[in-house]
């Protein structure tokens, strides 16, 4: 808490600080296998072998690292990767992860070359009986009259939820400065020893039997009176839902659904007809556009001819001779336009006849002038 939020070091900086701390105190730790940030002001680091882990676990850590106040939280037990005892015949180890549900145990799968390497079955350790309310051993929460308390400082929770921890360890067994279930507690050690002796004595006397791995459990046997049948005479046979009146409601709905199905089936044909109509309309628009362009070209030709006639009337004899030649060419072009219009009119009766009449009058006037 002595470091401001903006001055909190990164994971790499923390790793460098730890390596410098180990070197200054002559601790033979060469590399860290992991150093990551586990919270705003929390970092988690690990080493690569059991010897280094035990060295750091048993070392008395300073209260400050690189002039920064720090608190080291040690694990309560040896990690599984260091506690697993391997056999020489094992060729591979892997952890078993269950995605569908969480399991309290840590399962490991290992492979061996031969089954002859097995001497005894893997026996699990004896589990402590402890209370999660007062954190004392020997009983469980359902038999405890105490209120819920903090696992670290044993202070009671307010309304079972709120709590302000003082960060001071208080053991519920001996009152020492450690967790209530820590293996270093003398009361917990004595309880484990007594538990082991009691279990071994019960196994020897035959009071209890240890389950053998791979043993098939007894099949389930059903007796006649385990699940008695119901008395049919007392069972109400009336249906909870009335279905007689639903037929009148279903008939109109069924008819509407049938009409809707017919409409949906006819929809593709309607779309095809609509598409065909759009195509025909597009063709007519293109034809009308071509006729409009032809009309414009004809009007341009008439304007040019009228301008030539005006120049011929106002010019001298030499210019008239030249213009006469041009007029003859224009007459030929107009005759071609006339023939094209006649054919177009035969193909399209809706063609306007006003422009055709104008072409005839213009051609007749030019012929008369040329004859003179």
Residue 359 contacts residue 302 (beta carbons within 8 Å): yes
pLDDT in tens, 300-359: 888 877 777 776 666 666 766 776 777 777 777 777 776 776 666 555 555 555 455 555
pLDDT in tens, 169-179: 899 999 898 88
pLDDT at 371: 47
Poorest-pLDDT segment among 58-72, 141-155, 219-233, 343-357: 343-357
Choice between 320 and 180, residue whose per-residue pLDDT is larger: 180
% of residues, the chain, pLDDT over 90:
7
Candidates 1, 78, 26, 38; CA nearest to 14 is: 38
The backbone torsions φ and ψ at residue 360, rounded to the nearest 5 degrees and listed phi first, read -65, -45
Answer whether residue 233 shows pLDDT above 80.
no
Answer whether residue 165 shows pLDDT above 70.
yes
Q: How far apart are CA 6 and CA 281, in angstroms?
A: 73
Answer whether residue 48 shows pLDDT above 60.
yes
SS3 assignment, position 112: strand
pLDDT at 137: 92
β-bridge pairing 64-65 and 34-37 = unpaired
Question: For residue 176, what are the CA distances in angstroms to 135, 185, 300, 324?
Answer: 13, 8, 115, 133
Question: For residue 198, what are the CA distances in angstroms to 101, 183, 194, 201, 250?
Answer: 33, 19, 6, 5, 74
How many residues can be counted in the chain?
372
How confident is the model over 4-25, as a mean pLDDT?
87
Average pLDDT taken over every residue of the chain: 77
pLDDT at 135: 92
- Cα of 301 vs its chain's centroid, Å: 72
Q: How far apart are CA 135 and CA 143, in angstroms?
A: 12
pLDDT at 121: 60
């Amino acid at each position: 808490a002595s470091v401001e939020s903006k001055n909190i070091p990164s994971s790499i900086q923390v790793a460098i600080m730890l390596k410098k701390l180990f070197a200054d105190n002559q601790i033979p730790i060469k590399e860290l296998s992991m150093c990551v940030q586990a919270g705003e002001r929390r970092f988690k680091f690990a080493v690569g072998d059991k010897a280094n882990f035990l060295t750091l676990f048993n070392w008395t850590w300073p209260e400050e690292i690189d002039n920064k106040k720090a608190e080291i939280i040690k694990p309560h037990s040896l990690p599984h990767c260091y506690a697993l005892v391997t056999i020489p015949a094992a060729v591979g180890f892997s952890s078993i992860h269950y995605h569908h549900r969480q399991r309290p145990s840590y399962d490991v799968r290992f492979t061996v070359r031969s089954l002859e390497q097995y001497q005894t079955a893997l026996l699990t350790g004896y589990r402590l009986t402890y209370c999660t309310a007062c954190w004392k051993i020997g009983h469980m929460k359902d038999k405890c009259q105490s209120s819920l308390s903090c696992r670290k400082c044993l202070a009671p929770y307010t309304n079972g939820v709120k709590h302000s921890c003082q960060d001071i360890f208080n053991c519920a067994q001996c009152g020492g400065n450690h967790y209530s279930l820590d293996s270093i507690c003398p009361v917990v050690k004595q309880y484990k020893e007594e538990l082991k002796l009691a279990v071994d004595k019960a196994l020897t006397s035959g009071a209890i039997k240890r389950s053998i791995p791979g043993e098939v459990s007894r099949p389930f046997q059903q007796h006649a009176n385990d699940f008695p049948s119901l008395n049919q005479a007392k069972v109400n046979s009336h249906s909870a839902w009335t279905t007689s009146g639903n037929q009148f409601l279903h008939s109109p709905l069924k008819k509407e659904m049938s009409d809707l199905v017919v409409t949906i089936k006819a929809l593709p044909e309607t779309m095809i007809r609509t598409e065909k109509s759009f195509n025909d309309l597009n063709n007519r628009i293109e034809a009308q556009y071509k006729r409009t362009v032809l009309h414009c070209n004809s009007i341009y030709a008439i304007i040019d001819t009228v301008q030539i006639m005006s120049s011929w009337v106002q010019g001298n004899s030499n210019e008239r001779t030249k213009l006469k030649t041009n007029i003859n060419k224009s007459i030929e072009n107009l005759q071609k336009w006339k023939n094209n219009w006649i054919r177009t009119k035969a193909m399209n009766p809706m063609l306007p006849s006003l422009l055709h009449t104008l072409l005839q009058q213009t051609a007749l006037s030019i012929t008369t002038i040329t004859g003179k």
